[in-house]
Amino acid sequence: MRESFHGDLARLGEQLGAMCGLAAEAMRRANRALLTADLQLAEEVLTGDDQLDRAREACEEQAQSLLALQAPVAGDLRTILAAVYCAEKIERMGDLAAHVADAARFTHPDHAVPAELEGVFTELGEIGAGMADRVGELILGDAEGGHAELDETDHAVDALHARALAAITKDDWAHGVQAASNLALLARFHERFADQAVSVAKRLEFAETGRTSTT
């Protein structure tokens, strides 16, 4: 029975890992839709978001049934509660990717991101999606040191976020108030996406080691 229990736990990890892949892909596609003003792609991301919502529900049901049937304690209990926590954060990453896609849809056929900020937003999307992928690896492998690593990456995201805000509030900003307000929100969606990845890495590491690495 314990062996089957640990098989169930491993399957829960695989479900979470797959959710990370979905979140990474959603962010990549949403950001491409944003940068190319691709309405159809934006709508695909928005429609696809319920896949992550359902995956999260499945994780939670699986966790609940493990708790009820196996009454785990100590490390196993910590792992299951961490899985529930992480599933919620990863679902939220999908929501934030969908917000990016929604902004692309809202501004279409115009481009939400002016040429001088394309580099910043390209990087924000790539780093964010990479963080989601990395969290998936931490879930399936060894989470130790993961928090410090993701936290370090998050500093790069914060710096890009600050660059975007600085650009839209400079005196020579030429694209008007609406574009600036949209971009402030968009930069925040990216920043929050990365924050969720850091939270997941922190929680995974704590569940695995009882400690959290810091930078």
Q: How far is the CB of 85 from its own copies (least distance, A)?
A: 7
Give the Cβ contact number of residue 141 at 10 Å. 11
Window 60 to 119, contacts with its own copies (CB under 8 A):
60, 63-64, 67-68, 71, 73-74, 77-78, 81, 84-85, 88
**What is the Cα–Cα distance from 125 to 151, expressed in whole angstroms?**
17
By CB under 8 A, tell whether 1 contacts its own copies: no
Give the Cβ contact number of residue 198 at 10 Å. 21
Q: How far is the CB of 78 from its own copies (least distance, A)?
A: 7
Strand residue runs (E) in the chain: none
By CB under 8 A, tell whether 53 contacts its own copies: no
**What is the Cα–Cα distance from 22 to 208, expressed in whole angstroms?**
24
Choice between 44 and 95, CB closer to its own copies: 95
By CB under 8 A, tell whether 181 contacts its own copies: yes
Q: Are 57 and 162 in contact (CB under 8 A)?
A: no
Q: Which residues bind its own copies (CB under 8 A)?
A: 60, 63-64, 67-68, 71, 73-74, 77-78, 81, 84-85, 88, 165, 168-169, 173, 176-178, 180-185, 188
